[in-house]
Amino acid sequence: MTRNQPTDSLTVGLAQIAPIWLNRSKTLEKILAQVHTAVEKGCHLVVFGEALLPGYPFWIERTDGARFNSPMQKEIHAHYMQQAVQIEAGHLDALCRAAAKVQIAVVLGIIERPADRGGHSLYASLVYISPEGVVQSVHRKLMPTYEERLTWSPGDGHGLRVHRLGPFTVGGLNCWENWMPLARAALYAQGEDLHVAIWPGGLHNTQDSTRFIAIEARSYVVSVSGFMQASDFPADTPHLAAITADIDGPLANGGSCIAGPDGCWVVEPVVGEERLIVAVLEHRRVREERQNFDPVGHYSRPDVTQLTVNRQRQQTVQIVD
C-alpha cells in the first residue's frame, strides 16, 4: 500500500447500496461512484454485497420460479444472463482502472457468466481487485442456497484464496458459505485475519454470524449487504408487475456491520438505508486475541485433523492440441 497507509491499520468502506437492478452498465456507474467516495473518506478497501452487479434474483420466490418450462421464467433468466458479468469480455475493466488510479482494493459480488464454462451458465462470484487494478481472484459460490439453485450454478474451490493488504490478510465468502466451517477453515489456514462476508442483504443473516465467525477466527469480520426495495426496480424490468406485486417492506434491508477479533461490535448492523460505512481496523487487536486462541496455529492439531482443498478450476473439457 502506498497511499497514506498506516503500518498497523486499514481503513475499510462498506458500500451498502442497491443496484440499478439487472442493468450492468448503470449499476457499474453507481459502484464506481462509491469507489471514489470511499477514497475521499480515506479507505484502502471498499466492499460491496453479494450479486450486486447486476443484482440478486429476487424474482424467483415471487413468480413461481420453479415452474418448469415457464415462458416467464425463461424470459427473465435470459435477461439476467444478458446483463451478467463476463470478466473475459472486459466488463470489469473500468472498475479495475479506477481501482488502480486511486490505489484502492475492491471486493465485489457479481453474477458471473464465465467463458470457461461455455458462457451460458451463471455463478455468484466474489471478485477481489488489488490496489494495482488486477483481478487477483474470482471465487464462485460453492453451493447456491435454496431457490438460488434455479438460476445459479455450483462453483468450485479455485477462488478460496487470501490476499495481503497492508498489515492484513484478506479472504472472503459469499452469503451462506460463511456458515460452512470447512470453507472458513480453508481461508483461516492461509493466514486470513480480515474475513469479508458478502450478502444480498438482511439483518437476519449478519447479526449473529458476523460475531460468531470473528470469535472463531479471532479475526475482524466485515459483513457487507445490499439494499433493495420496490422502488429500486427499473421501470423496464421484464414482468415488473409480477415481481413487485404485494411487496411489503424492503426485499433486502441491509445489515452491514463489522465485528472485532473478540466478537464485539466495531460497527453494529446498519439497516434501512443505503450508506457507505467507514471504519479503521487495527491489526494489533488480531495479535492480542490470537494470544489465547489461533484455530490453525497453536490451538490446532494437524496430526489429528487436516483439511484438503481442491483449488483446481473445474471444466467439462480438457483440450489437447
Is residue 78, in this structure, part of any structural domain at all? yes
Comparing CA positions, the residue from 154, 93, 90, 168 lying closest to residue 121 is: 154
CATH number of the domain enclosing 271: 3.60.110.10
Is residue 2, in this structure, part of any structural domain at all? no
Copy the grid coordinates of residue 305: 485433523
Is residue 313, in this structure, part of any structural domain at all? no
Comparing CA positions, the residue from 27, 112, 79 lying closest to residue 238 is: 79
Is residue 208, in this structure, part of any structural domain at all? yes
| Residue 250 near residue 272 (C-beta atoms within 8 A) | yes
Is residue 158, in this structure, part of any structural domain at all? yes
Annotated catalytic residue within 141, 177, 192, 289:
141
pLDDT in tens, 163-178: 999 999 999 999 999 9
| Residue 250 near residue 228 (C-beta atoms within 8 A) | yes
pLDDT at position 5 is 63
pLDDT at position 4 is 65
Comparing CA positions, the residue from 37, 171, 50 lying closest to residue 102 is: 37
When divided into structural domains, the chain yields a total of 1
pLDDT in tens, 191-200: 999 999 999 9
Residue 99's identity, in one-letter code, is A
Ramachandran quadrant class, 64 (left: phi over 0; alpha: psi -120 to 50; beta: rest): left
Could you say which residues of the chain have pLDDT below 70?
1-6
pLDDT at position 11 is 98
Q: Determine whether 175 is an active site residue.
A: yes
Q: Determine whether 132 is an active site residue.
A: no
pLDDT at position 248 is 87
In whole angstroms, give the CA distance from residue 127 to residue 295.
26
Comparing CA positions, the residue from 97, 121, 13, 65 lying closest to residue 243 is: 65
Annotated catalytic residue within 30, 50, 192, 289:
50
Is residue 237, in this structure, part of any structural domain at all? yes
pLDDT at position 156 is 97
pTM for this prediction: 0.96
pLDDT at position 1 is 46
Q: Please tell me what DSSP assigns to residue 164.
A: E
Residue with cell 447486476: 54
Is residue 296, in this structure, part of any structural domain at all? no
Annotated catalytic residue within 175, 177, 192, 257:
175
Containing structural domain, residue 217 = 9-289
- Give the sheet arrangement for strand 9-16, strand by strand: 135-140, 123-129, 105-112, 45-48, 9-16, 275-282
Is residue 304, in this structure, part of any structural domain at all? no
Spatial CB neighbours of 15, under 8 Å, sequence gap ≥ 6: 31, 34, 38, 46, 47, 48, 49, 224, 276
